[in-house]
Structure 1
Amino acid sequence: MGEYSKALSYYEKALEIKQKTLPSNHPSLATSYNSIGLVYDNMGEYSKALSYYERAQDINQRTLPPTHPHIKITKENIEIVKKKL
C-alpha cells in the first residue's frame, strides 16, 4: 500500500517489545529484523535494509537448523539488496 513509514513504526514497536521479553537470539527477533529490512528495501534505503537482513541472518544461523526456510529467505534478501547497492 506504500505506507512504509507507518509499517516501519509498527515493526519497530514490535521489535522493542520482543527485545524486552525474549532472549537476544530468539528467532522471532530475526523475523522482526527481516521485516524491517524489507521495509527499508522497499523505501530504497538499501544499506539500512542490508544491516537488518544481516542481523536476522546472524540469529537465524545460530538458532535454526541449516535447512530452515527462513535462512534461505534471508540469504536471498541479502543477495538481492547487495545487487542494488
Structure 2
Amino acid sequence: KVATSFVQRALQRNPDIVGVMFIMKIDPSKISTSITPFAMIDEHSALPQEQEILFTMHTVFRVGEIKRTAENSRLWEVHLAITDESDPQLAGLTDRIKQDVRGSTGWQRMGHLM
C-alpha cells in the first residue's frame, strides 16, 4: 500500500512517465543469511509499515508475470521470485558466462563481460 501511494502521486505529477512496481515473492526456504545475505530494515525506515528488506547486490530474482494494472494504464507490476544456488537455469547461465568470459585476471574478465 505504501509503494502504491508513492507511485500514484508520481504518476499524477508527471503525465509522461509510467510506474513499475516490483512484487517480490520470497520463499523462506530459499534464503538464509549465509547464502543470500539480507537485512530487515523496516525499523530504520521513515515508514515502518513498508516492511523494507535490503538484499545484497548479487541476489538473483527470476522475472515472472509482467502486467499492466487494471486501476491505472500507466502502472505496471513485475512479479519477481528469489532464486537460490540450486536453480538449474541459473547454474546453466552462470556456467555459460564463465565459459564465454575468459581472461587471466579479474579485471580482464570483467572487461570482456562489459
The answer to whether the superposition gives a TM-score over 0.5 is no
Question: Relative to total residues, which structure has the larger helix share, 1 or 2?
Answer: 1
Q: TM-score, normalization: structure 2?
A: 0.23
Q: Specify which structure has the higher proportion of strand.
A: 2
